[in-house]
Structure 1
Amino acid sequence: MTTIADSICPDVPPSGPGCVECDATGSWWLHLRRCAFCGHIGCCDDSVDKHSTAHAQATGHDVIQSYEPGEDWFWSFSAASYVEDGPELAPPRSHPRGQTTPGPAGRVPANWRDLIG
């Protein structure tokens, strides 16, 4: 049986400052999430593309952490709940503070509020 601890690799750095797939396609995100196992940065489920959940479904990597400045919560997809007392992950622990939310600047459509649900 896999435990939460088996789903978190604290020494793995994040994949970058933004959603990997959105950056590759020129899309945008609302908030960012970090895979606690491999460091993949994906966009949240309130974003149009929901890449963090898609990554979890494709890889079986169960736990994410917020990649927003000032947030350190973890979420388990399989338990559909927050994970308490997760370890500190390798830095950086959030996207750059100057990066806009939603982001990145220049790719967020003016009607972004109408596009999220």
Structure 2
Amino acid sequence: MTGHPAIDPTAPPSGTGCVECEATNGWWFHLRRCAACGHVGCCDSSPSQHATAHYRTTGHPIVQSFEPGEDWFWDFTNEDTLDITPELTPPASHPAGQPAPGPAGRVPQDWVRKLRR
């Protein structure tokens, strides 16, 4: 039992990086994992904001941080964190050796100036 109908704890993550950024040779700041289907997208500070785009396209309202050491969930519908922290199918984050921002070799030197605020 996850405590929320929009969370499927059996859905594995779609990969170790943002699906769309990987497909377009882009880069991300931090990663978010859809709790309904496992889609991994980049956060709203990232240039392309693919996690939010995934929510808008699919209606899947809950994401979990896909950063090492973080286990919080965000609800796009309420624009707030969730009080529950169900355990999703591993892995719970991108590999610890994968840099943030990432991926290695694609982050521009002036990446801080390119963040969305």
TM-score, structure 2 normalization: 0.95
Q: Percent identity?
A: 58
Helix, strand or coil at the partner of 1:24: helix
RMSD: 0.8
Number of equivalences:
114
The amino acid of 1:77's aligned partner reads: F
The amino acid of 1:6's aligned partner reads: P
Give the 4+ runs in structure 1 shifted more than 3 A.
Answer: none
Helix, strand or coil at the partner of 1:75: strand
Give the drift of 1:86. 2.6
Give the drift of 1:85. 1.5
Partner of 1:22: 21
Partner of 2:65: 66
Q: Unmatched 5+ residue regions in structure 1?
A: none
Give the drift of 1:53. 0.1
Q: C-alpha separation between the residues in 2 aligned to 1:87 and 1:103?
A: 26
Partner of 2:84: 85
The amino acid of 1:31's aligned partner reads: H
Deviations, residues 4-52 of structure 1 (Å, cap 9, x unaligned): 7111000111000000000000000000000000000000000000000
The amino acid of 2:18's aligned partner reads: C
Deviations, residues 60-108 of structure 1 (Å, cap 9, x unaligned): 0000000000000000000110001231000000000000100000000
Q: Does 1:101 align with 2:100?
A: yes
